[in-house]
Amino acid sequence: MGIGRATALVLAEKGANICVVDVLPTEKTVQLAKETGRKALGIKADITNWQEITDAVKLALENFGRIDILCNIAGIANFPSLTFDLTEEEWDRTLNVNLKGTFLCTKAVLPTMIEQKYGRIVCLSSISGGLFGWPGWSHYAASKAGIVGFVKTVAQEVGPYGITINAIAPGIIETDLSEKAVGLAELKKTAKSVPLGRIGQPSDVAKVVAFFASDEAGYVTGQCILVDGGLSLGPAYE
């Protein structure tokens, strides 16, 4: 859904064959990707499960022969809960999906990328992953900040193999996930604080993912770029 679907479609439009991996149904995204004229495959898998992820990678290789790009976009944002009310289960689930999932998917594709001596890995962090703190989101912020540290370290490890890895930190993006987490009214209210005057769309992030996945970004690695309409600069003047 959301940023993941937008990314699949932008990459397909730019000539990539697409493998969509999600614990939720993938049929709609796969169909839309195929309508661009590219091949597309949907795989149901839990990114926190190593066996399911390695099986998904194997299936992708069987269908396409190689994996050039990995987009670590799947993630969750539970309803806010102040740290002193946050349960251990909520903390573990958020870190497992957002951070452990990123680790497992990256680890699973690295052998084939190392053998190819080529790869582009793009991970999704957040504006809350080290720049902003919002009450009730300590579990989410910790998971997204962890992604930035992960990216910077892995970049040093895989650079000699021609592999780049970068992160994107979106601001407030209008998706089903964000609407469920904070509500549409709150999203619209936040738009007043964005210098560009609007909430971001999934395609705004997807286009930056496509840049990192392209040869144009071949000398960029270990970086985290904000895609937030200027929100991190402070509130816009009315």
Measured CA distances, 9 to 35, 39, 64, 135, 224 (Å)? 9, 11, 17, 34, 22
**For the stretch 93-130, what's the b/e string if a residue is b when 16 or more beta carbons lie within 10 angstroms of its beta carbon?**
bbbbbbbbbbbbbbebbbebbeeeebbbbbbbbbbbbb
Helix (H, G, I), strand (E, B) or coil at 196: coil
> How far is the C-alpha of 23 from the C-alpha of 46, rounded, in Å?
5
Question: Which of 118, 140, 161, 219 is labelled catalytic?
Answer: 140
Measured CA distances, 172 to 60, 126, 217, 235 (Å)? 32, 9, 25, 13
The answer to whether 161 is a known catalytic residue is: no
**Looking at residue 222, what DSSP letter applies?**
S
CB-CB neighbours of 150 under 10 Å: 19
CA 83 to chain centre: 25
Catalytic residues: 140
